[in-house]
Every structure is written in C-alpha cells, then in structure tokens.
Chain A
Amino acid sequence: MIKNGRLTPLDLVEAYLARIDTYEPVYQAFNTVLADQARAAAKAAGRRRHTGPLHGIPLAIKDNYWTAGVRTTANSHLFQDFVPPYDATAVARLKANGAIVLGKTQMGPLATTRATTPDGRITTVNAWTPTIPGTDPGGSSTGTATSVAGRLATSGTGTQTGGSITAPSNAQNLTGLKPTMGRVSLAGIIPLSYTRDHPGPLARDARDAAIMLTAMAGEDPADPRTQGLPRVPDLVEAATPVYSGRRLRARWSTRVGVLPGYADGTSATALARQAFLSTVDKIDGVRLVDVPLPDEWDLLTGNAFNNVRLPERSEPFMPYLRADLRGFGVSVTGWLQGALLGANEFVTGQRAKLLLLERVLDQVFERCDVVVQTGPVPFDILGLPEIGFPIGFTAAGVPIGTILGGAPYAEDRLLSVVAAYQAVTDWHWRRPPNPPAATALRSAAPAEDRGRLTADDVVAQMQ
C-alpha cells in the first residue's frame, strides 16, 4: 500500500503510536518508545523514493541491539546509561531497507529469561492474556513478541541463544525464525554466548519473517562469523506458497522428520501436534518420515553439555564481574558458573558438540529435510536454523506453537514448509482482542504487582 501511494509511512507510524499510547501501559512491551524519531523518519520516508521492501514499515527492536544515540540497556543495571555510538549491523540493514524503528523492547535481563526489570520484577505480559502476568509470554525476546502480537509493531527483532526467538513466538502466535549461526551479523549486539547468539525476526507469518531476514542477513566485515558462508537464497520466494492449478503443493519435495514421542499423548499440545502433522502430510510433495533420536541425544543435548556455553558468558564480562556483582541483578549466577568451568571441560564440550552435529547430519538429515523439535536447545547448541510458528490454542485461549529445525543454511526450506502450512491454516491470522480500557488502568499500576523472579528462578529458566 505504501509503494502504491495508498498509505503514507507517517499515517502507518501514527496508527502504531496511537496503539502504543493506548495499550503500552498494559503490555509494557517497550523499554523506550521513539515516537518523535519514528515520526521524523516516517516523514522522510514519505519524501523519499521507495528504498526497499521495508520502506516505511515500523519495527520493534530488542534492547540488546545497539541503536546509535539511543539508550541500549539489555534490561540490565550494567548498561542502564549506555548510548551506543552506532547501530548494530542488523539495525543498520533494516533501516537501509526502509524500516522505521518505533522503539526498543523489554527483554530478560541480559537475555537470560522472560522480560523483567533487572531486579526481577515482571514487566511484560503475554498479549493473549494481558490480565494474567503468570502466563509465560516467552523469553528473552518477550517485548518484541508482545509488541508484534499486540499490534504495537508490524514485526521485530530478537536474539536466540536457548530458545529466545522460538519460545516467545510460540507463546504469542507468531512466526519466529532463528537462522543458522552466521546468517545475520552479531556486530553491535550485546553478547550472551558468542557461539550461540542468533539474531532473527519475530513476525506474523512466514512471508514477513522472510522479508525481515532478507534485510538482516548477509556477510559483514565486522563479524567473522558471517564470512565465507553460502549465499543467502531468495527467502521471500521460498516463503510464497506454490500451486499447481488451484492445488497447493510443496515448493520442494520435502521429507518432514518426526522424532519419537513428538505427538504422543492427549494434552492440548499433543493434539495440536497431531493435527499439524496430519495437515502437512496432506500437502502435495510433503512426506512424513519417522527419524530416530541420534545416539546419546539426551546426554549431548542435556543440561551439562548445554552449560558449555557459560564461559562465553563470563569471559567478555570480566571487567563487570570484578567491579560490581550486584550490577548483574537477578542474572548473576550464570556468569559466576561460567567463571568456574575450566578450559579442560570447555574443550571436551566443544569436541562433543562436533560429535552431536555429525550425528544430527548423519542420523537425522540423511532421512529427512526438516525435522520437528521438542525444544529449541539442541539446534541452538549446533547453530542450526529453526522456525517457530502457531499450530493451535489451548482451551484457555493461549497459543500453541511448534518448531521445525533445518540443515545448515536451510532457512529457505523451513520457510517453504511453514508457508505451505500457513496457506491451508489460519492460526497465524488470529489476533488477541484489545485489552479493555479498565484493564489498562489497573495494569498501569507499578510492575511490582505482576510478581517477581528470583535469581534461582532465572537459573532454572536461563537461556
């Protein structure tokens, strides 16, 4: 509509700012709202030629992405006054494609858990249950998820180290894409674990996620992790459903791997998973195949081996750990754990990671092209791509999502499967109702009323 002149960037931005003005006291999705900057950018976009697929599109940016001249806190005491001198590469690329930054979003302190203040007071609620702070909105990209689900932004950015894009996407009926390690530059993003942090989009559907990732992805001289990789394929085309006549078919013949126990049981989640499998199985060109769990799966993806990431957490923060432990607030324990894991165990963990990857490639991806996931962590350990998307609701109206994992650099394949699924389902079209005005007033009370996470809670939920 913007490209055709039927909608101006300023009108679109004003519409989102109006919703933020009305509902942000309930959702508490943002750290900082950049109303004046967004209006100025929208006016400039209205005067400019079309600059890209995101021209005039208002986005929410997670508050661990550096933004030039705008406070970037990672929701931590440590960075409460940090104003970066330049944009993170991913933010700069979104802007270069025409995007407008509406604000910075609430997140788990230093990306460790669901969004709270640095001292643990719960802030952001699930947009589907705004009066029930106990309903997990997913973390740590909580604020981005709530802002998109609550229609305070069109799409947004997240980072994932242990499920922080797919979990909030699943919790709030969104499509979140964690790309392969290196697809998107991490330059200018406050680190959590440098081998596992993945920047990516949280969007309404596969096509929006593809547009976002296309803008964000690519080689960056400032990040060696992005260099020398296969080219970024046409993700938008991949996320466009394909028809033979009027009949939907898979863009590529695709074997969907199903892990043991994925859809077992009678819980709402199990029933939604069964329905999801039944639906994709009916798409021309899609075939379900049973795949085994790789050898030693539980051990190699379990807590101890996942904790190999923790020294990556402590090492870049040593000056902060020496200066003021209390500055880490409720999140400090993970950083101290990392300082206790010796190099000997760290190297063993790296050997095990390669073994796990070889088993996933040999024992899973020899049999299928994409594979269901029962949790995000195994593919976070390996840096492999994952996409979370909606597949139903509980009886209480809380979204249910699922995750598909892909082979290295197979974001296009993941998007194609989800786009085909979303062409024959409408879960992704569903929207939460607006919070009632009376609720808005009540929820504008201090965040203390929403509960508080302790340091032990953070360790238990740590990303």
Chain B
Amino acid sequence: MAPTPPTDAELDVMIRARLASLGIDLDQLPPGTVSDPATGAPGRDSVFASLRSFVRGSVTALAAYQLPAPAGSDPAHAAALSQQPAPMLYPSISSEWRR
C-alpha cells in the first residue's frame, strides 16, 4: 500500500530539517510573506510554499519515473531492463563518442 502523502506541516519539518542538515538556516529569511526590503529576498512563508510545491511536483514526478522497457520485451522484465540505460551528465558528448 502506498504511504500517505505528507501534510504541509510534515513537509515543512522535512524541508527545514533537510536544509539544516546541509547547514542552511531558513531563519535567515524574513518572517512571513514580505520580501526583505534591502535585498529582495522573499519571506520565509513564501519560500516554504514554493518548496512544498517543488517537492510535491518535481521531486515526486522524478522519483516515480521508470524508464520504459524496449518495445517487444516482456513486461515482466521492465524493472530490470530500466536499470540498464546509463545515467549521463553530458549526453551530447557521450553520444558523439558512440558514433
């Protein structure tokens, strides 16, 4: 059974904890939704809202993606086949070298 999606409050805790574990303190940003007048940096609540949307959107979509198995292959092998394409940081270069 799929886990229950996190609430806003749970995500806020996760976001704050993840960033704190990297040494990033969100309390550097001004409280609320008003931007810092001196630098233009957004308010903390606005940033939390944007980051929650990012986790629910991009992070979840990427995590859920499974590469398709080649056409004609046995669907039972899809998971194993999807492990085969190599991750490539510079696809243009790697592809040119394969030509």
> How far is it, in angstroms, between the C-alpha of A454 and the C-alpha of B95 when the chains are bound?
40
**Minimal beta-carbon separation of A415 from chain B (angstroms):** 18
Residue interface mask A89-112, B partner, CB < 8 A = 1: 000000000000000000000000
Whether A242 is near chain B, meaning CB under 8 Å from some CB there, is no
Q: Which of A327-376 contact B (CB under 8 A)?
A: 327-330, 332-333, 336-337, 339-342, 344-345, 347-358, 361
Report chain B residues within 8 Å CB of A48.
none
Interface footprint category on A:
35 or more
- Determine whether the beta carbon of B41 is less than 8 Å from that of A337: no
Interface size on B, residues (CB 8 A): 45
- Determine whether the beta carbon of B63 is less than 8 Å from that of A345: yes
- Determine whether the beta carbon of A408 is less than 8 Å from that of B96: yes
The 8 Å CB contact of A333, one of B42, B61, B62, is: B42
With contact pairs A180-B92, A181-B90, A383-B91 given, residues A119 and B67 touching in the complex (Cβ less than 8 Å) = no
- Determine whether the beta carbon of A354 is less than 8 Å from that of B36: no
> How far is it, in angstroms, between the C-alpha of A430 and the C-alpha of B54 when the chains are bound?
43
Whether A431 is near chain B, meaning CB under 8 Å from some CB there, is no
Whether A326 is near chain B, meaning CB under 8 Å from some CB there, is yes
Whether B94 is near chain A, meaning CB under 8 Å from some CB there, is yes
Closest to A121 in B: B40
**Minimal beta-carbon separation of B40 from chain A (angstroms):** 3
Report chain B residues within 8 Å CB of A296.
68
Report chain B residues within 8 Å CB of A456.
42, 46, 50
Residue interface mask A245-283, B partner, CB < 8 A = 1: 000000000000000000000000000000000000000
Whether A7 is near chain B, meaning CB under 8 Å from some CB there, is no
With contact pairs A324-B28, A339-B22 given, residues A354 and B55 touching in the complex (Cβ less than 8 Å) = no
List 5 other contacts, CB 8 Å, given A305-B61, A326-B29.
A304-B62, A307-B58, A321-B22, A329-B41, A350-B89
**B residues engaging A (CB < 8 A)?**
15, 18-19, 22-26, 28-29, 35-36, 38-42, 46-47, 50-51, 54-55, 57-59, 61-63, 65, 67-68, 85-97
For the complex of A and B, list the 3 residue pairs with the smallest distance between their C-beta atoms, beginning with the closest: A119-B40, A350-B87, A455-B42
